[in-house]
Amino acid sequence: MLRIQRINPLNDILDKKFVAFVGAGGKTSLIEYLAAGAVKRGKRVALTTTTKIFVKEPYILTEKTCLHNGPGMPSYLRIGRSLENGKLTGITFDEIDILGELFDLVLIEADGSKRLPLKYPAEYEPVIPPRSESIYVIAGLDSLYGTVREKVFRRELFCDRTAISPDEIIGPDLFLRFFSRDALLKDVDEQRCTIVLNKFDAPASRGEALKLAGALLETMPAREVITSCIPFGIFYKTQIT
């Protein structure tokens, strides 16, 4: 039997130092949501990346600024190595360790998806810092009933590896296929993993979200599955009772 409970995901990370986010379909939105909430709780928060992330103020670049704990360091800051085409580029694991000394909470975008709701990783992806205490794996429910061509980042690689046509419709079974060791769960520690099925308000997903959460819990009982609509601050945790 499924138990569904509305939650505040912030409560699950306030006792953590390093939290990584991989996958597609809402990583940056979730990071920004959690960062804003943590700052309101009095936490000093760093938002950074090991790949690339869109730039917003306030930010600093490690190629130009030495990381330090002193006057002028704000309580909420985005950090990248450099600025490239409107994005902050990734910093090193050693620099992330330094951020852990300067901030209470370090939120790390450790994957890229070019704003598509699903992705299939290249050999060098994701880039998860070893100190990550929690890893959030995000997928967009708005991928349902679209085609692989429309909805999957690195679709050429996915189709080549799986022999699935780029014109294949993404039904529930194909959606669940992405939660495998060669796709969204690549290099993810199961014991530190929380799956987030985002955009449950999308028209095609309204009747599928909880079914998919239940299916994931049946095959991966050690993990938590959250369904979310991030812009409205709505999050539901689904558990088997």
CATH number of the domain to which 141 belongs: 3.40.50
Neighbours of 190 (CB within 10 A): 11
- Total-model pTM: 0.94
Task: Calculate what percentage of the chain has a pLDDT beyond 90.
Answer: 78
Sheet holding 45-49, edge to edge: 2-6, 234-240, 224-229, 193-198, 134-140, 18-23, 105-109, 45-49, 76-80, 59-61
In the predicted model, what is the mean pLDDT of the chain? 92
Q: Which domain holds residue 99?
A: 16-240
Neighbours of 129 (CB within 10 A): 22
What 8-state DSSP symbol labels residue 123? T
pLDDT at position 24 over 70? yes
| DSSP H or E stretch at residue 27 | helix 27-40
Domain assignment present for residue 5? The answer is no
State the pLDDT confidence band at 5, using cuts at 50, 70 and 90: very high
Asked if the bond preceding 203 is cis, omega within 30° of 0, the reply is: no
Lowest-confidence pick of 20-29, 89-98, 231-240? 231-240
What is the rounded distance in angstroms from the CA atom of residue 164 to the CA atom of residue 159? 5
How many independent structural domains does the chain possess? 1
Residue 74: the pLDDT is 83
How many CA atoms, within 13 angstroms, populate the side-chain half-sphere of residue 190?
10
Domain assignment present for residue 8? The answer is no
Instruction: Give CA torsion, residues 75, 90, 135, 159, to 10 deg.
Output: 150
Instruction: Give CA torsion, residues 58, 44, 193, 141, to 10 deg.
Output: -40
196: β partners = 138, 226
What six digits make up the tokens of 173? 């079974």
Domain assignment present for residue 132? The answer is yes
State the pLDDT confidence band at 7, using cuts at 50, 70 and 90: very high
User: What are the tens digits of pLDDT across the range 78-119?
Assistant: 999 999 998 999 999 999 999 999 999 999 999 999 999 999
Residue 107: phi and psi, rounded to 5, are: -105, 125
Over its C-alpha atoms, the chain yields an Rg (Å, rounded) of: 18
Domain assignment present for residue 3? The answer is no
Domain assignment present for residue 134? The answer is yes
Domain assignment present for residue 2? The answer is no
Domain assignment present for residue 26? The answer is yes
Domain assignment present for residue 6? The answer is no
State the pLDDT confidence band at 222, using cuts at 50, 70 and 90: low
What is the rounded distance in angstroms from the CA atom of residue 21 to the CA atom of residue 67? 23
Among residues 166, 184, 173, the alpha carbon closest in space to that of 144 is found at 173
pLDDT at position 25 over 60? yes
User: What are the tens digits of pLDDT across the range 188-213?
Assistant: 998 899 999 999 988 777 778 889 99
